[in-house]
Structure 1
C-alpha cells in the first residue's frame, strides 16, 4: 500500500497490482474499498492496475469535511494521484459510481486522458438515467430460484431513502447484480459490508446537481477513445441505458458482455479481459 496527501491534507491510499502499462482504476459502491475489484479478471497480467481507496474508505484517511466525499469534489483526488504518479496522460477506468467520477474527471481534465474505460458506470454524475428498461431485465431472470426474494429486496432498495436504510436488503438483492449466483459471486457480495464506508455512500451524490448540458457538451468534445462496457443483465446501468448514453462520446466502443451483470470480470474473466485489453491496445 502506498500513500499520498491530497489537496486538503487528507491521506489517500492506493496499491498497484500486475505488470505492464499503468491503468488507473476508480472503484464504485459508492464508498466501497478498491479491494472488491480484485485484479479485474486477470487484467493485471497485461496492465499495472493502480487501485486507490476513495477518501474515507479502505486504508484512506477520513477528511475533516464530509462534503468532500461528493462525486464532483473527488475529481481533485484523482488529479492529485495522477500528479503523484508522474503521468502526463493516463488510461482511466471507472466502475459503477467510479464511472460517474471518471466522466467528471474527463470533463474537467480532457487533456490528461489517453483513454477512458467505463465498466457498468452510473450515469448519475452527468444527470442521465441508468435504469432504462430495468423491469424487463429483472423479468428476464424469473426462472432463477432466488428471483422472488431478490425482487422483493429490490423493491425495498429502490424505495429506501438512504444507503443505511437499504443495507438490510442488500444481500437478498445481490443475485440480480451478478450474471451467475455461484460461490464466487456469493463471496464477493458477502464482502460488501466490511468493504463499504456508509458515510461515503451517503455523501457521494448528496446535494449534487449536475450541470448536465455543460457536462454533455464537454464529453462530446472528448478526444480520447472511450470504451463503454456493460453486462447484458446489469440493472444499474442497463444495457439499454448504456446504448442511449454511448452517443455522448465522439469516439466510443460500446460492448455488451453476454450473460454478465454488474461485475463482468467475475462472470466471464476471459471475455472481460479480452475486451478491455483489446481496447487499450487499439487506443495506443
Structure 2
C-alpha cells in the first residue's frame, strides 16, 4: 500500500486501480475509509483511480492533533497527494461529505484543478446544506418500499437528533436505490470503516466560509459535473441543480433509480456519465 507524508508529518495511504488518465478520488462518510468506493461502477475501465484514505481512516495514520480532522485543515493533505503523484493539474472526484473537501481544495488551489466531479456530494463550503425537510421530502418518495414503515420512523428520529444506533441501522435502506444483497453487504461495513471522532470534527465551526466561496466559484473556469440520485435525499435532485447553478461551467446528471451510492445502483449509468464528462473535458468540448 503506497504511503506519503502530509505536511504535518502524518503518513497517508492511497490506492491505485484501473487504467487510463489519472482521476483523484476523495471519499465521504464523513471520514470513511475509501474501500467503500470500490471501482466506482467500473470507472476503472476508463480511468486510473488514485484514491486517498483520509487521515485516521483506512491505511492512513492517526494524526498527532485531532483538530486536523477539520475539513479545511485536510486541504493540505490533498495538495500533498497531488504533488506526491507528480501531477501538475488534476481531475478530481469526491463523494458525499468529500465534496466539501474537494471544493475547499479547488478554492485554495484553482490552478491545480482541471475538472471537478461531485457525486451525491455535500456543498456546505458553498453554504448549501441538506435540511430535515429535504430528508423528509426524499423519504416520501420511497413510500412503496416494503421496508418503508419500519425505516421511516427511525429516519425521522435521525434528523430530529434523537436517534439511537438501532435507528441508524433501521434507516439505512434510504441510502440505496435497491435494498438488495449488494446494498446490505456495502452498508454492513460502514461502522468499521468510519472514524467517528474524526467524523464529529470534520465540519467543526470555522471549517467553511460560504460567502467567500460563492464569490470565488462565480468566476471559476474549471468544469464541474454534479451527479445526483433521483432517490437520494442528500442532495435532492433540485438541491443538486441549485448547486450546479453556482458554477459558470457545470452540468447536472440525475440517475433514475439511484440513491446515495449511484455507482452501486446504476453502475453503467454512473460510469457513462462520469467517463463521458471526463472525455469531453479532455477533448476540450463544453457540453453545457
Q: Shared topology, TM-score over 0.5?
A: yes
Residue 211 of structure 2 aligns with which residue? 213
Cα deviation code 1:87-113 (max 9, x no counterpart): 000000010000111111111111101
Cα deviation code 1:177-228 (max 9, x no counterpart): 1111111011101110111111111110122352211101111122111000
Residue 129 of structure 1 aligns with which residue? 129
Q: CA deviation at 1:60?
A: 0.3
Residue 151 of structure 1 aligns with which residue? 152
Q: 5+ residue gaps in structure 2?
A: 283-288
Distance in 2 between residues matched to 1:158 and 1:133, nearest whole Å: 10
Distance in 1 between residues matched to 2:32 and 2:104, nearest whole Å: 19
Instruction: Give the 3-state SS of the residue equivalent to 1:230 in structure 2.
Output: strand
Moved over 6 A (4+): none
Q: CA deviation at 1:166?
A: 5.3
Q: 5+ residue gaps in structure 1?
A: none
User: Does structure 2 retain, via aligned residues, the 8 Å contact 1:19–1:45?
Assistant: yes
Residue 141 of structure 2 aligns with which residue? 140
Bigger shift: 68-77 or 119-128? 119-128
Q: CA deviation at 1:134?
A: 3.1
Q: CA deviation at 1:167?
A: 3.9
What TM-score do you get using the length of structure 1 for normalisation? Answer: 0.96
Distance in 2 between residues matched to 1:29 and 1:210, nearest whole Å: 18
Instruction: Give the 3-state SS of the residue equivalent to 1:271 in structure 2.
Output: helix
Cα deviation code 1:150-185 (max 9, x no counterpart): 212212221338xxx654422211110111111101
Pick aligned residue for 2:251 from 230, 253, 277: 253
Q: CA RMSD in A?
A: 1.3
Distance in 1 between residues matched to 2:118 and 2:164, nearest whole Å: 26
Q: CA deviation at 1:136?
A: 2.4
Residue 61 of structure 1 aligns with which residue? 61
Bigger shift: 120-129 or 174-183? 120-129
User: Which residues of 2 match residues 9-24 of structure 1 at below 5 A?
Assistant: 9-24=9-24
Between the two proteins, the alignment pairs up a number of residues equal to 281
Instruction: Give the 3-state SS of the residue equivalent to 1:87 in structure 2.
Output: coil
